[in-house]
Amino acid sequence: MSDRSTGAAPPRLVAVLGPTNTGKTHLAVERMLGHASGMIGLPLRLLAREIYDRIVAQKGPRSVALITGEEKIVPPRPQYFVCTVEAMPLNREVEFLAVDEIQLCADPERGHVFTHRLLHARGRSETMLLGAGTMAPLIRRLLPHAEIVSRERFSSLIYTGPKKLTRLPRRSAVVAFSAEAVYGIAELIRRQRGGAAVVMGSLSPRTRNAQVALYQSGEVDFLVATDAIGMGLNMDVDHVAFAGLRKFDGKKTRWLHAQEIGQIAGRAGRHIRDGTFGVTGEAEEMDEDLVAAVEDHQFQPVAAAEWRNHKLDFSNLPNLIRSLDALPPREGLKLAEEAIDETALKKLAEDPEVTGRARARDTLEKLWEVCQTPDFRKLALDEHLSMIRGLFLRLTTGKRRIPDDWIAGQVAALDRIDGEIDTLAARLAGVRTLTYIANRPDWLADPAHWQGRTRALEDRLSDTLHQKLMARFIDRRTSVLMRQLGERGEMLAGVAADGTVTVEGHEVGRLDGLVFQAPKAASSLEEKALRGAAQRAVGPEVARRLGQLAAEPDEAFSLTPDGAVLWRGAAAGVVAKDGGGERVRLLGELGPEPARERAARRLEAWLAAEGGRRLAPMRTLQAAMADGQLRGLPRGLAHRLIEAGGVMDRKSVEADLRALSQAERRTLRSLGVRIGAFSLHMPSLTRPEALAFAQALEGGAWRPPVGRISRLPAPPPSAKALSARALRAVGALAVPVDQLERLDGLLRAGPKQSGGQVLTEAARQDLGWGEADTRAILKALGYVPVNREAPIGWRRRQDKAVQPASPPPAGSPFAALAQLTAPPAAPANRRRRRPRRKTRTA
């Protein structure tokens, strides 16, 4: 779409700038519908879907196209195109064109795309750029002929300071900056305020709309969201509370910029209704200057727009890379940082098979097209590169299409609705990648078929995820069992303080915590009758106890070594051994399912908090991996150490340890990781309270003696089971890790013997080891005896025996000194020759 004018009057170019709640997007949609054709680019797929639905309601589905990276709904002759900014089909000419949130041209990750639209995307009659007032000076510099229209906010935005989550006003949105934080806050609100809807940018439009509908309908009064709500999503929010003022931007954790806070806080209030904002949780209070800037919408202007050359040279691969590195042609633009598509291209340029195929212009263009596949899954770069490489090779082989069996296998692997929230969200991310592939016009033999398949799978996963979110974060009351009890109001039944259950004066069982235990009846008919009557009495009491449990403070719970979670001394749940993570299975069968779900989530919340306290070093190491403090080899070692439960055999990672720099070693040491002589481990996790918690989580019937050597059972325990007991497998023995590290010091401190190190009797007794076990451990650790008679010296197999120094020349003063200081020579050990057996002769 070019800048040239096709009529006598030049096309209008207008920038509509102002804070949130000024009606900019609404204005653009109304202007677009006043033209015969139009196109609008929006920053989020969620927002594009919202605007598409709004226009379809006015103009009908035949008049409107929706184009995003993952979704294309294009009728035969559409008049209006609603798109994400990246997916705008600029080869189509329209009367009106608008780009929303144009201030994102300064975004380090996506800015170059918005800058291209700012400079080059135009409508034949009118072009409208929508964004923050901070863009005005830059637009005047880059587009001096543009008309700038400033709009004022319809309502006031007022700072109300910090508030506890339990004191937030109704119709509040709590903003956090990670999925973990969103889930934790939503869980707390569910327990204390009845429930919350969840909105994140990673959710599909279907899930997000269903969650917003819960909030908009008033079924819940709280919304927990990421900063995705700052990009034009319209909801009836009265108050925005920041649960943090720092975010990880993909490279580092940084403080929020004032304009980012203003963009998010501006979602409070609607039209002429005033809004408020503040902080909650552990967020620091905002300083006065920041508050004033947000309330008055006065922010630093955008200094320069991110720019990347769009006139690429496809004559050969080196020229393509050089053209991507071209410098901006004018002031007000700065060269964008290397995006993931450019990184992928440069990495694949090192692959001989890829470069061998990317010689012709069409295959080189195909390579660049494939490199622009988004990384929705957010996995390691190598995994993303592997996928891109595979796609390119398939698209340049044979029929130059991705085979149906490949995408069928990918879809089948994701076509499951089991699992918890994170698992479903990860599958949805994978489906988004497949949907993007299916929407490439010439990548598949039958793209329409796979578009339908992936869209149906996304809908199914979205609906399941919505149900999971409701079950976990929304408290829906039920009175089914109470009504059942009311049907027999004349029945005399109850539960005594000691748990005894009586019906019509007869004892029919006991209620221990949440578990009803019925005695054996004289007949099956009597058992059925008594149990049915007892359940009528027990049901309301269990429901009451479940509600009480869900509201209990942390002090009411404890954990036994066999993994049982106690509530006020009674078993209420057990740590799930097959669910992974810190999951709890609630005991008993009675009680309304929503109440049971709330109680189970309460136990899980306590278990997670207790784990964070008792296993704090492990959580610190995981946080260091998540925030980028650990990278490369240290990150890999930390990951393996966490997988092993905190203890590893040093030999298994020796090559990686040798490759560590001193700085990397110091970083690991500062995070509680000790690189010992025989083990890589975390000493803080060997404290009694940490071990007790780890053993309860790990479970298992094996109970070795504490602090002593024991034989490994068959089959041997897992690495995590050993780590939970501060043990290492050494040969056929389970040995305490601290004793292994003490062994190294005792060997070094002991006397030398024949080029080896002697473990003295006192040292062995200090360790508490038997003589046979000591020999077995040393041999399993790679030591070999260097002599046969006591005291035995030991050396590692890889260590060469120490060679005696050459004697000084006879007659020299050094020779005399050597004679005075040399220890008495040990008698030579001579092996007795066995006498030959006499062979009998016949």
Task: Note whether 255 and 119 are within 8 A (CB).
Answer: no
Judged against a pLDDT cut of 90, whether residue 752 lies above it is answered with no
Q: Do 504 and 402 have their domain in common?
A: no
Task: Note whether 13 and 145 are within 8 A (CB).
Answer: yes
Q: Which residues, 6+ apart, have CB-to-CB distance to 26 below 8 Å? A: none
Q: Which residues, 6+ apart, have CB-to-CB distance to 450 below 8 Å? A: 407, 411, 434, 437, 438, 444
Nearest Cα neighbor of 435 from 653, 211, 206, 217 is 206
Q: Do 587 and 632 have their domain in common?
A: no
User: pLDDT per residue over 186-221, tens digit each?
Assistant: 988 887 777 889 988 778 878 888 888 888 888 888
Domain stop point among 296, 327, 345: 296
Which stretch of 84-93, 721-730, 804-813 has the lowest confidence by average pLDDT? 804-813
Domain stop point among 749, 767, 800: 749
Judged against a pLDDT cut of 50, whether residue 782 lies above it is answered with yes
User: pLDDT per residue over 581-617, tens digit each?
Assistant: 568 888 888 788 888 888 888 888 888 888 888 888 8
Judged against a pLDDT cut of 80, whether residue 840 lies above it is answered with no
pLDDT band at 527 (very low <50, low <70, confident <90, very high): low
What is the CATH classification number for the domain harbouring 289?
A: 3.40.50.300
User: pLDDT per residue over 360-395, tens digit each?
Assistant: 999 999 999 999 998 887 778 889 899 999 999 999
**Backbone φ and ψ of 575, nearest 5°:** -65, 125
Q: Do 189 and 252 have their domain in common?
A: yes
pLDDT band at 507 (very low <50, low <70, confident <90, very high): low
Q: Do 144 and 18 have their domain in common?
A: yes
Residue for token digits 């409208």? 128
Q: How far apart are CA 343 and CA 28, in angstroms?
A: 36
Average pLDDT over every residue of 812-839:
44
Does residue 821 form part of some domain? no
Does residue 827 form part of some domain? no
Judged against a pLDDT cut of 60, whether residue 813 lies above it is answered with no
pLDDT band at 481 (very low <50, low <70, confident <90, very high): very low
Does residue 380 form part of some domain? yes
Does residue 736 form part of some domain? yes
Kindly report the number of other CB atoms within 10 A of residue 406's CB atom. Answer: 14
Vertex 377 angle, CA 373 and 379, to 5°: 105
Q: Do 103 and 221 have their domain in common?
A: no
Average pLDDT over every residue of 118-144:
95
Q: What is the pLDDT of residue 698?
A: 76
Q: Do 122 and 243 have their domain in common?
A: no
The amino acid at residue 322 is: R
Q: How far apart are CA 410 and CA 831, in angstroms?
A: 68
Average pLDDT over every residue of 768-772:
86
Judged against a pLDDT cut of 90, whether residue 780 lies above it is answered with no
User: pLDDT per residue over 601-659, tens digit each?
Assistant: 888 888 888 888 888 888 888 888 888 888 888 888 888 888 888 888 888 888 888 88
Q: What is the pLDDT of residue 114?
A: 96
Q: Do 285 and 407 have their domain in common?
A: no
CA dihedral 828→832→833→834, nearest 10 degrees, is: -170
Q: Do 176 and 292 have their domain in common?
A: yes
Q: Where are the beta strands (DSSP E) in 683-780?
A: 710-711, 727-730, 733-736, 752-753, 756-758
DSSP 445-505: SSHHHHHHHHHHHHHHHHHHHHHHHHHHHB-----HHHHHHHTTTT--EEE-TTSEEEETT
Task: Note whether 773 and 733 are within 8 A (CB).
Answer: yes
Does residue 181 form part of some domain? yes
Specify the higher pLDDT residue, 95 or 69: 95
Residues of the chain with pLDDT > 90, as a percent, come to 32
Q: Do 252 and 122 have their domain in common?
A: no
pLDDT band at 743 (very low <50, low <70, confident <90, very high): confident
Q: What is the pLDDT of residue 506?
A: 61
Q: What is the pLDDT of residue 663?
A: 87
Judged against a pLDDT cut of 80, whether residue 268 lies above it is answered with yes
Q: What is the pLDDT of residue 351?
A: 92
Average pLDDT over every residue of 393-410:
92
Task: Note whether 220 and 474 are within 8 A (CB).
Answer: yes
Q: How far apart are CA 270 and CA 357, in angstroms?
A: 56
Judged against a pLDDT cut of 60, whether residue 40 lies above it is answered with yes
User: pLDDT per residue over 48-59, tens digit each?
Assistant: 988 999 999 999
Q: What is the pLDDT of residue 161?
A: 92
Q: What is the pLDDT of residue 6?
A: 46
Does residue 240 form part of some domain? yes
User: pLDDT per residue over 81-94, tens digit each?
Assistant: 999 999 999 999 99
With a threshold of 0.75, does the pTM exceed it?
no
Nearest Cα neighbor of 146 from 136, 156, 155 is 136
Q: Mean pLDDT: which of 7-21, 325-339, 741-755, 788-802 is highest? A: 325-339
Q: How far apart are CA 108 and CA 254, in angstroms?
A: 14
Average pLDDT over every residue of 520-525:
49
Q: Do 600 and 640 have their domain in common?
A: no
Average pLDDT, the chain: 83
**Backbone φ and ψ of 735, nearest 5°:** -120, 135
Q: Do 195 and 123 have their domain in common?
A: no
CA dihedral 538→539→542→544, nearest 10 degrees, is: -110
Q: Do 190 and 236 have their domain in common?
A: yes
Does residue 837 form part of some domain? no
Domain stop point among 749, 773, 790: 749
Chain-centroid distance, C-alpha 527: 50
Nearest Cα neighbor of 223 from 251, 190, 248 is 190
Structural domain count of the chain: 5
Task: Note whether 672 and 683 are within 8 A (CB).
Answer: yes
Q: How far apart are CA 501 and CA 517, in angstroms?
A: 9
Average pLDDT over every residue of 473-488:
43
Q: Residue 223: helix, strand or coil by DSSP? A: strand
Nearest Cα neighbor of 645 from 604, 695, 608, 606 is 695
End-to-end CA distance of the chain: 110
Average pLDDT over every residue of 750-763:
84
Task: Note whether 106 and 249 are within 8 A (CB).
Answer: no
Does residue 504 form part of some domain? yes
Average pLDDT over every residue of 37-41:
96
The amino acid at residue 48 is: A
Kindly report the number of other CB atoms within 10 A of residue 700's CB atom. Answer: 16
Q: What is the pLDDT of residue 475?
A: 61
Could you list the residue range(s) of the whole structural domain that residue 635 is in? 616-749
Helix (H) or strand (E) holding 816: helix 813-821
pLDDT band at 235 (very low <50, low <70, confident <90, very high): confident
Q: What is the pLDDT of residue 564?
A: 84
Average pLDDT over every residue of 229-242:
81
Q: How far apart are CA 778 and CA 343, in angstroms?
A: 49
User: pLDDT per residue over 546-589, tens digit each?
Assistant: 888 888 898 888 888 778 888 888 888 888 765 455 688 888 88
pLDDT band at 808 (very low <50, low <70, confident <90, very high): very low
Judged against a pLDDT cut of 70, whether residue 522 lies above it is answered with no
Q: What is the pLDDT of residue 765?
A: 85
Q: How far apart are CA 615 and CA 621, in angstroms?
A: 10
Judged against a pLDDT cut of 80, whether residue 819 lies above it is answered with no
Q: Which two tokens stand for residue 271?
A: 């039209």
